[in-house]
Amino acid sequence: MLFQPQKYDPKINEYVFLKGEYIFPLSNFKPEKIEEFKLYESTNSYKGFGSFEKEYSQLFFGRKKLIEDPKEGLLAKVKNHQITVVLGLSSSGKSSLVKAGLIPGIKQEAETDKQQWYILETMRPGELSFTALATVLLPITRGLELDSLINKLYQDVQFLTEIIHQWSQKNPNIKLLLTIDQSEEIITLSKNDEDRENFLRLLAEALAVPEIAEILRIVMTLRSDFEPQLRDLNEHKYKDTNWQEVWQEVWQNGRFMVTPMSREELQQIIEEPAAQRTLFFESSKLVNALIDEVISTPGTLPLLSFTLSELYLRYLKGEENKERSDRTITEADYQKIGGVTRSLTNRADNTYNKLKEEETVDEPTIRDVMLRMVGIRSGELARRRVPTSELVYPEPKNQQAKLVIARFVKARLLVKGRDTEGQEYVEPVHDALVKGWKQIKDWLDETQETVETVSLWNPIKKFFNRKKEHPEVEKILKVNLPLQREVNTSANNWSHHAKELGFLWNNDPRLDLLKQVLNSQDNWFNKVETEFVQRSIWRKTFNTRRNWSIAIAVMVGLSSLTISSLISLRNTKIEQVNNLIGS
């Protein structure tokens, strides 16, 4: 029995046989027992803006040579070097290369190779790099609680060396792999220079011990523009120390550049994951169009993956509606979503418009929620991870804010998660959303007029302003991001210190501006910030009234004393005159 697969041809409206593709069944094959390979949203073979994790290695294509080349490949690099720094531009596929390429490759080789490995869970430094490190080290420590381990790592730069030494004695001839993904967070998210310095020194001290250097392998993924800051951190301060010399040497020897993908490699990452789900692209023209959009632009791999994911979901929707069953991704769908360059921002526009028109959500609420997730790094816009506690607003705005978050999460434009401390957060799915969505730029450029106000309890300023025919008017940004972040930090600090009066902004010169924001239609304060500003205004008003009351009382007292003195002087003069007359 011979089978030849068929494919739907929309030009002739018929199924045609695929030339040169045959299936030769076994003698015991029973076609009536074939079960259709049904597609689901959960079986999407494209990861969108997420990186490929190790469990999806079977869907990771296009980097075989870069990983497995016996001389220049990543596997060989990691085996032969204490530290491997995987360098590349933002969104060049560094994380996927390590998690879905390198780590499964090490495990596969360990099955046939004599060398055995213990692979720690991949860590991201985040804001608390010591907490992240302690979390992945915990399984190889004995008798330590997480908090205790964090403190010991933070206080003792030799403690990592001690942990690995004790582990290796119980696990001889096994190499230990520590993977640090998105290592630029050591610079961008770490709270202070001392934390960065201590964290890197902890790693370097371990590598400087020959015994540990034979056991430990460290792999770091890093944006290439942050390399000097991590490689040369405080090199002058520690220039004569052994660990600094070792750090510089192993770093230089362990550099591994992620090269741009060729057309052939891009074709593999487009077609092969679809083939794993028995999906096909309508034509080579469509595949080439996808390649042409990204091959000359660095950092567009996540956008390509997002576009492919959208194409998969469009086919899935057509299949669910019984409109399609040909297992074909079409050029028509590609055009409808706007290609690679517009697929993400089109999705954002559609979600935004539906919220305004169908859900009747106020535009300022959408703006305030989304601008919370915009950060500025090295002078450029970037996504910002926002604790959900920061997105709690006074009612009724809070209900609308929840709806905005839910709709953008459903549209796969925002993602939720929990940090190393278990705190829930929301963040944009990729920097491309905050950099490329025009609505973000329009909101950031929006201005409003502000009028200088004069406090009723400042009679001096009121006197000098009374002759002005028109109040002083100036243009300010509707949402000033740096000011918003300052207010948020101060409000949280005030809240964490039992709302003590000493943490209020009653003496801050910007409080008058915040008062105008509070009373305007463009009020961007969340719940904690609102209470913080209100209490600061109240405290300033109270202090001003008290100070002026004291000043007036003093002036009245002085005036009374002056009058009394004048009366006394007058009476003395009269008495002197009367004495002269009497004499």
Residue at 54 is within a domain: no
**pLDDT at residue 466 is higher than 60:** no
Same domain, 79 and 31: no
Distance, in Å, from the CA atom of 242 to the CA atom of 213, rounded to the nearest integer, reads: 14
Distance, in Å, from the CA atom of 368 to the CA atom of 398, rounded to the nearest integer, reads: 11
Same domain, 272 and 237: no
Distance, in Å, from the CA atom of 403 to the CA atom of 396, rounded to the nearest integer, reads: 12
Residue at 485 is within a domain: yes
Same domain, 20 and 70: no
Mean pLDDT of all residues in 348-373: 94
**pLDDT at residue 474 is higher than 70:** no
With 0-12 CB in 10 A as exposed, 13-18 as middle and 19+ as buried, what is 210? exposed
What does the DSSP 8-state code read for residue 186? H
- Quote the mean pLDDT of the chain: 85
**pLDDT at residue 531 is higher than 60:** yes
Report whether the peptide linkage leading into residue 396 is cis, meaning its omega lies within 30 degrees of zero.
yes
- The number of C-alpha atoms within 13 Å of 210 and in the hemisphere containing its C-beta is 0
Same domain, 204 and 282: no
Backbone angles phi, psi at 173, to 5 degrees: 65, 20
Same domain, 222 and 88: yes
pLDDT band at 1, cuts 50/70/90? Answer: very low
Q: What is the pLDDT of residue 440?
A: 93
What CATH number is attached to the domain comprising 128? 3.40.50
**pLDDT at residue 339 is higher than 60:** yes
pLDDT band at 396, cuts 50/70/90? Answer: very high
Distance, in Å, from the CA atom of 244 to the CA atom of 189, rounded to the nearest integer, reads: 23
Helix (H, G, I), strand (E, B) or coil at 425: strand
How far is C-alpha 550 from the geometric centre of its chain's CA atoms? 51
Mean pLDDT of all residues in 356-360: 91
Answer yes or no: pTM beyond 0.75. no
CB 521 within 8 A of CB 458: no
Same domain, 380 and 434: yes
pLDDT band at 463, cuts 50/70/90? Answer: very low
Distance, in Å, from the CA atom of 488 to the CA atom of 504, rounded to the nearest integer, reads: 12
Please tell me the least confidently modeled range out of 140-154, 214-228, 296-310, 551-565: 551-565
CB 269 within 8 A of CB 263: no
Same domain, 172 and 221: yes
Q: Give 100-124 pLDDT, tens digit per residue.
A: 999 999 998 888 777 899 999 999 9
Same domain, 221 and 77: yes
Residue at 380 is within a domain: yes
**pLDDT at residue 360 is higher than 80:** yes
How many percent of the chain have pLDDT more than 90? 47
**pLDDT at residue 295 is higher than 70:** yes
Selected residue with higher pLDDT from 207 and 378: 207
Radius of gyration of the chain (CA): 33
With 0-12 CB in 10 A as exposed, 13-18 as middle and 19+ as buried, what is 324? middle
Same domain, 414 and 453: no
Q: What is the pLDDT of residue 100?
A: 93
- Compute CA distances 104 → 54, 119, 139, 237, whole Å: 6, 10, 20, 39
Q: How many residues does the chain have?
A: 583
Instruction: Provide the domain limits for residue 525.
Output: 447-539
β-strand 255-257 against 83-88: which pairing, if any?
parallel
Helix 129-137 and helix 159-170: axis angle, to 10°?
Answer: 10
pLDDT band at 380, cuts 50/70/90? Answer: confident
Q: Which amino acid is at 149?
A: L
- The number of C-alpha atoms within 13 Å of 208 and in the hemisphere containing its C-beta is 17
**Longest Cα separation, the chain:** 153
Mean pLDDT of all residues in 506-533: 90
Q: What is the pLDDT of residue 457?
A: 47
Same domain, 229 and 368: no
Residue at 252 is within a domain: yes
Boundary of a domain, candidates 291, 311, 337: 337
Residues 6+ apart with CB under 8 A from 469: none
pLDDT band at 417, cuts 50/70/90? Answer: confident
Boundary of a domain, candidates 257, 290, 325: 257
Q: What is the pLDDT of residue 522?
A: 84
Residue at 564 is within a domain: no
**pLDDT at residue 358 is higher than 70:** yes
**pLDDT at residue 127 is higher than 70:** yes
Token look-up 């596969």 returns: 108
β-strand 328-329 against 280-281: which pairing, if any?
parallel
Q: Give 22-68 pLDDT, tens digit per residue.
A: 567 777 777 666 566 788 888 899 988 878 888 888 899 999 999 99
Q: Give 159-198 pLDDT, tens digit per residue.
A: 999 999 999 999 998 999 999 999 999 988 877 778 888 8
Q: Which alpha helices (DSSP H) does 358-480 contain, by range?
A: 363-371, 397-410, 431-436, 438-445, 459-465
Number of compact structural domains in the chain: 4
**pLDDT at residue 552 is higher than 80:** no
Residue at 551 is within a domain: no
**pLDDT at residue 3 is higher than 50:** no
**pLDDT at residue 285 is higher than 70:** yes
Distance, in Å, from the CA atom of 524 to the CA atom of 530, rounded to the nearest integer, reads: 9
Closest alpha carbon to 175 in 159, 162, 163, 164: 164
Mean pLDDT of all residues in 391-407: 95
How many percent of the chain have pLDDT more than 70? 85
With 0-12 CB in 10 A as exposed, 13-18 as middle and 19+ as buried, what is 249? middle
Distance, in Å, from the CA atom of 439 to the CA atom of 373, rounded to the nearest integer, reads: 13
- The residues pairing with 415 across neighbouring beta strands, listed in sequence order, are 427
User: H/E/C letters for each residue in 26-70?
Assistant: CCCCCHHHCCCCCCCHHHCCCCCCCCCCHHHHHHCCCCHHHHHCC
- Give the sign of the dihedral formed by CA 170, CA 171, CA 173, CA 179: negative
Q: Give 132-165 pLDDT, tens digit per residue.
A: 999 999 999 988 899 999 999 999 999 999 999 9
Same domain, 327 and 374: no
DSSP line for 460-494: HHHHHHTT-SS--EEEEESS-HHHHHHHHHHHHHH
Boundary of a domain, candidates 257, 276, 310: 257
Same domain, 401 and 266: no
Helix 284-294 and helix 263-275: axis angle, to 10°?
Answer: 130
- Compute CA distances 363 → 253, 400, 440, 523, whole Å: 53, 10, 12, 12
Q: What is the pLDDT of residue 464?
A: 45
Residue at 17 is within a domain: yes
Mean pLDDT of all residues in 332-351: 91
Residue at 130 is within a domain: yes
